[in-house]
Each structure stands twice: as C-alpha cells, then as structure tokens.
Structure 1
Amino acid sequence: MEWKKYWDLIILIFLSLLLDLLIFYFPDTLMRKALGLAFVLFFPGYTFITALFPEKKELDNLERLALSFGLSIAIVPLIGLGLNYTPWGIRLNPILASLTVFNVAFALIAIYRRDRAVEPWIPWITMDRLKEELEWEGSSKLDKALTVILIIAIITSIGVLTYVISHPKPGEAFTEFYILGPGGKAANYPTQLRVGQNGTVIIGIANHEHRNVTYYVQVWLVNLTWDSSTNTTVIHGMYPMPGWFNVTLPPVPVNIEGNWTPQFQTNYTFSINKPGKWQVWFLLFKDSEPKLPPAPPDGNYAETDAKNLILQAVNGTIQSLKLNVEVRK
C-alpha cells in the first residue's frame, strides 16, 4: 500500500486524535481552538464525501471543498440530536468521542474505497494544479482580479475568525447566591420552629463577575403582608438578625462539565423569640453595604428608610433569598 495516496486521510485521523489530547491536557491553547474549528466544520464532511466519492471523475475539487463544509454543518447537529436521546446527553466528552469515532471510521472507509478506485481522487496542491483549477491562463484581467480579491477575502475571514476564537467575549457576569438545608441539599429547611429553637441553613456564594468582589450579606427577620386594595407590600416588623458577614471572593469560571462544586459556603444558625409567621430575608450586596438609619428604640426598622431594602428585595431589584418560618410557642 502506498501511504502517499492517503496522506490527507492519515493526517486527518492524526489531527482528530491530537485534538482529543489537547482538550484534556492543554484546553486553553490557541492550537486547540483552531483545530477544534476544523474538527467540527470540515473533518466530518470531508471524510464522508471522500468515502462516498473516491473516484476523481465524480466531483471536482471545488465541489468537494464546498460539500465538505456543507455536510459538516449538517452532520454535527445530527450527531448532537442523536446524543440527546442517549444517557450521555449533549456534553463535551460524548460529542468529542462521537465526532472522533465518526471522523476516524469514515477516514478508514475512504482509505479502503480509494485503494480500490480505478482513478482515485488524491488531493495534491501545486501551482500548476491551482492555476488549472482556477482556469487562470484563460481568464481575463477582471476575472483574475476578482479571484485575487476573493482569495484575500477568504484569508481575511479566516484571520478574523481566528482572532474571535482566540479572544472570546467574556460570558455574562453574575453571582450565585443560594441557601441549602442543614444537610447540604435544597430540602429540609427549618420552616417550622418553636420560640427560641435554633434553625440552621447553609448560605452559599459563587463569584462569576470576572473580577474580585467583596460580598456583604444582611439577614433580616420580617413580618409583612400584601395589601390587595392598594397592591402594595406592608411591612409590620423588620428586625436585624445577628451574624451579618462579608467575604471577598475571586472570580471562578462557570463549570458546565462534571460535578458542581461550591466556591463559598457557611452555616448560619438563627432563632426567633416571637411566635407568628415570619420571613427570614438574606440580602446580598456587592462591593459596598448600604448605610442604615439609627436603630429605633424597639429595634423595629419597619418605620425607617431601611424598609426600602425589603421592598426592593420583594420587587427583585436586590439579590436576595427568603425563608418562610412559622414559629409556635
């Protein structure tokens, strides 16, 4: 077997396997990004077309090139659609494995069919073949100029695409703020307590703001009702609870692969000394904490400007969490 006859397919197999190694060991390299683009947008269609049409007379070079890109755009979503109905789902590792198997399998089929073709199509770029493909000698000056402009446009597009891939726009900036039950799950919250009985939750924060952020957490005990006649929230009682804290966190990337891991979590234990139906509000502030008015004699901030914090939390303009707690004697 003359391996030079299959140089393109052998290189394609090698590059597909090389990309797998780059993703696992060097995921942030420019080579991985550039090779990944070809892996998705060119390799699947090229191997499929080469396996389907091994004879030189069946398609010319430009048709093969166009179909390689076009079929890749069709094949990859179909593979993703198939993975969507499997236990693996549409995730990085299953997609990578599926496309690698597809590229390698059809490359081997293409090698087999090319070996048995009467006049096999073997890509080999030389200046003479390039001029022949472009019909350079018989073209007018205008056609030659347009061809040069087209080539420059293609090279420029590839350069711009490479720059965009190597300098991706940062994702949306946001902060994860959550509370969990004492078991570390979103269940078994202390929603029914007796007067003076301790309840415990876990407060969690994760910084996806692309910068260091100092977070301030306030905890308020609130008694409020909804006035349907005026469509307003009426705050009857608003008391600061002990345990306010602040923490500075560095930014962390959003991990969509593997198991979720917390960035910052802390236990928060509280008790309520008055019976009734209460709401425990956890308010989150970034970089600075709003100043509070002087504390009222009875400790109830409901008649002060501090009530605007809860009203904004109710309206969703402040990042906050709420826990409904019924306290019995």
Structure 2
Amino acid sequence: MLTIIALSLLLDFLIYAFPESLARKALGLAFVLFFPGYVFITALFPERKELDNLERLALSFGLSIAIVPLIGLALNYTPWGIRLIPILVSLTVFNVAFSLIAIYRRSKAFEPWIPWITIEDVKRELEWESSSKLDKALTAILIIAIITSIGTLAYVVTHPKPGEAFTEFYILGPEGMADNYPTDLFVGENGTVIIGIVNHEHRNVTYYVQIWLVNLTWDNATNTTIIHEMYPMPGWFNVTLPNVPVNIEGNWTPQFETNYTFSIDRPGRWQVWFLLFKDSPPELPAAPPDGNYAETDAKNLIIEAINGTIQSLKLNVNVRP
C-alpha cells in the first residue's frame, strides 16, 4: 500500500515536471486502470482466505474501470469539471485514502493478504497439476490473451493518435475584442482590425494572407453570387509558425497577431475578405488595367471562400461619401 501511495505521488510529480515522458504515460496507465480497484479490494478484503490472487487481480482491473468513471461523473457536477488537475487530485486522494484504510485493516487481520505471488502459487490456484491437457491449453491461451490485451492497451495509451489538425484564423476589433469592428466608415477613413493565426497542424506551416476589397450581390433568380468589383488591398503578408498543442486546461493564448489598418477610397457597401493559404499562395492572373479582378479567374477565390473551401474571414463595411 505504501508503494501505491508513493507511485501515485510520483505520477503527480511527473505530470508537473515531465508531462511528455514515457514514464508518466506508463505509470498513468496503472494509476487509472489498476490502482483504484486494487486499493479498494484490499481495503474491503484484507484477509488472505477471502479472495485468491487471481480474483484480486481481476477485480482490481474491473473495479478500476468502474470507479474512475464514477469519480469523473461526480466531478462533472462540481465547479472544477472533468479536467486533468481535478481528476488527478481526486484519484490521488482516493488511492491514498483507501491505501491507509487497507493498511489499518491489514494490521487487524488474522492472516493478512500480502501481494507476493510465486509461480507455484499461480499453478496451485489454477489447479495446474490436476488439469487436463485441454484445460492447460485453454488456460495458457487465456493468459496470453490477457497479456496481449494489456500490452495493446498500454501501446494505444502511450502512443496516442494525433488529434485533428486545424488552424485558428480570426479577426478582432481594435481593442482586441470580438466587437467594435470598423463596419461604418467615410471615404478615406482608416479602420483597424487585429488578424490572428494559431497553428495546430502538427507541423511548421507558412501561412499566406490575402486581403481583397469586394463588391458583390446575390442573384436570387439563378442562386449565384455575382462579383462586380474585386480589388487587392495593401498589406498582404506571410508568416511561418510552429505547431502549438491544443491546451484545454489553461487559458487560451494567442500565437500570432498583427494590426491591419485599411481605408476604402470609394463609397458603397463593400466586403473586406481575408483569405488564408497554407504553404503556398495560389497563382493570380495578370493585373487588369483598372485593377478590378472581377472579370478574371481570381474571382473564384471569393466563390470558394463563400462555399467554405478556402479558410477565410469577411468584414462588411458601409463606406459613406
């Protein structure tokens, strides 16, 4: 029981100091799938005669699978919720508390159970000597299946599949909030937004941001978007960002943000489109004499952005004379 207490506290230290270590993953597997059931069973049945070794082993795994979800369910109704730290603290308290109870009950037991198993003990409990060849073969297959299952589970837990790859792309108002966007301007008046990017692609990515000034309408008769004017705005940029793991425990923090100030030199209802491309930007046709790309293939970029095939953001701006 003292070993269980020590290993539980060691895991707490590993998660704090070495969160990506293999030791943390291996010990965490036992911490969740074995320790809770083991200390619970030992506290309930401290006498050797009450359960044999195989029953204790099976019940330790089985009860752990039952206890941990119940603790998680209880945490779900608390202000802390189902998060790493509350789960870690709750399971540590559970393991330590029932370990101390088990130590006390063992000290009062007439013939306490001590977790020391030899090959001879296993053979005796399996009635190995008196078993038929078929029973021995089935027992061996069962033991191999159990060991294989535990090994497979350990591998899956210690080598988790990478999460979904995605990129956060957002614009904020000049105060850094999702509010007070410059949507009502006069001709030539400056408006400022904050462009933000966060890389969760599991690799380094070079991002290219294009900014377009677009005037378009929706044709109800044909259910199509008609782009009347489309001009590139100054301030296109690219930036290379490393991968940032998704952190669901702590507060969200930005990775890359930049202020973007623009002005529009003609009145009307406009849309400012921010298009995000990874690794390389698309090829653009030659610039038209008047700078209006609406009659070129570049308009397909806006159509794709509207359809959601290009990661994009849009800001509706009403420009007064």
Q: Which bin holds the TM-score, normalised by the shorter protein?
A: over 0.9
Residue 103 of structure 2 corresponds to residue 111 of structure 1: yes
1:37-52 → structure 2 map (5 Å cutoff): 37-52=29-44
Q: Distance in 1 between matches of 2:152 and 2:180?
A: 53
Residue 75 (structure 2) aligns with: 83
SS of 1:280's equivalent? strand
1:65-214 → structure 2 map (5 Å cutoff): 65-214=57-206
Residue 299 (structure 2) aligns with: 307
Residue 236 (structure 1) aligns with: 228
**Among candidates 264, 272, 275, match of residue 272 of structure 1:** 264
SS of 1:238's equivalent? strand
Q: Distance in 1 between matches of 2:106 and 2:80?
A: 34
Q: What is the deviation of 1:88? A: 1.4
Measured against aligned partners, the alpha-carbon deviations of 1:102-133 in whole angstroms (never above 9, x if no partner) come to 11111111111222223333222112211111
Q: Distance in 1 between matches of 2:32 and 2:79?
A: 22
1:61 alignment partner AA? N
Q: What is the deviation of 1:198? A: 0.9
**Among candidates 272, 275, 284, match of residue 276 of structure 2:** 284
Contact 2:25 2:157 in 1 (8 A): yes
Q: What is the deviation of 1:153? A: 2.8
Residue 56 of structure 2 corresponds to residue 27 of structure 1: no
Q: Distance in 1 between matches of 2:279 and 2:67?
A: 48
Q: What is the deviation of 1:148? A: 2.4
**Among candidates 310, 314, 317, match of residue 318 of structure 1:** 310
User: CA RMSD of the aligned region, Å?
Assistant: 1.6
Contact 2:29 2:154 in 1 (8 A): no
**Among candidates 11, 14, 36, match of residue 3 of structure 2:** 11
Query: Where in structure 1 are there 5+ consecutive unaligned residues?
Result: 1-8
Q: What is the deviation of 1:41? A: 0.9
Q: Distance in 2 between matches of 1:165 and 1:70?
A: 18
Q: Distance in 2 between matches of 1:108 and 1:321?
A: 58
1:198 alignment partner AA? N
Task: State TM-score, norm by structure 2.
Answer: 0.95
Q: What is the deviation of 1:313? A: 0.1
Q: What is the deviation of 1:257? A: 2.1
Q: Distance in 1 between matches of 2:175 and 2:267?
A: 26
Query: Where in structure 2 are there 5+ consecutive unaligned residues?
Result: none
Measured against aligned partners, the alpha-carbon deviations of 1:128-184 in whole angstroms (never above 9, x if no partner) come to 211111111111122222222332333333333333333332222111111111112
1:33 alignment partner AA? K
**Among candidates 207, 212, 222, match of residue 220 of structure 1:** 212
Runs (4+) of structure 1 moved beyond 4 Å? none
Q: Distance in 1 between matches of 2:64 and 2:39?
A: 10
1:245 alignment partner AA? F
Residue 259 (structure 1) aligns with: 251
Q: Distance in 2 between matches of 1:152 and 1:89?
A: 39
Contact 2:271 2:314 in 1 (8 A): yes
Residue 22 of structure 2 corresponds to residue 55 of structure 1: no
Identity %: 83
